Structure 1
C-alpha cells in the first residue's frame, strides 16, 4: 500500500537541508529503483520552484511500504529528520486514484 509522508520543516532549514540532501536523495533513489516511489519533492516557501534563500517549508513523499509501521520507521530514519530539518512528520495511508 502507498503511504504519504508529509514533513514540516523547522524555520530557516535551508542550510541543514542542503547538507543532508545527498543522503536524503540516496534513500529516495533506492525506493525508486525498487519501483516503490510514486512521488517526492519539497514545498517551496514562496510561489516558485526555485525559492532561493527563502528555502522550503517541508516535503512530501508518497511511496509503497508493507505497513504503516514500516513507513513510519522509514520516515524516522530520514537524514533530514536526523539533521534537524523536520520539526514534524505525519505518515498516513494513501490511496492513488488518478492518473
Structure 2
C-alpha cells in the first residue's frame, strides 16, 4: 500500500494553541482508529524551540489519494482549524 509523509503546520493566531488543545482528544481518538486499521504508521507534534506544539508530522499508509481525502474530511485538526497548511508527499519507510 502506498505510504505518505504528512506535514501539517498550525495556524499562528492567538487562539491557535487553545483550538489545538480542545480538538486534541478527538484527533488522538481518530489516530488510534487509524493505527488499529494500519493506516497510521507514526505521528507526532512538531515543536517550536520553546517546545510548544506548532504542527504535526505523520507517516500514513492509504490505498491512494481518495482514501487520504476521506481521512482529511473527518480529521478534527482540520475541522477545528488547527492545521492551516497540510503537505502530502509520497514516502517509503525504509526496511531496516
State the TM-score bracket (shorter-chain normalisation).
0.7 to 0.9
Aligned equivalent of 1:77: 74
Aligned equivalent of 2:3: 2
**Is there any run of 5+ residues in structure 2 with no aligned partner, and where?**
none
Q: 1:11-51 CA distances to partner (integer Å, 9 max, x unpaired)?
A: 1421100000011001110111123321100101126xxx2
**Is there any run of 5+ residues in structure 1 with no aligned partner, and where?**
none
Q: Give the number of equivalent residue pairs.
A: 93
- The CA RMSD measured in Å over matched residues stands at 1.6
- Structure 1 stretches of 4+ with a deviation exceeding 3 A read none
Q: TM-score, normalised by structure 2?
A: 0.84
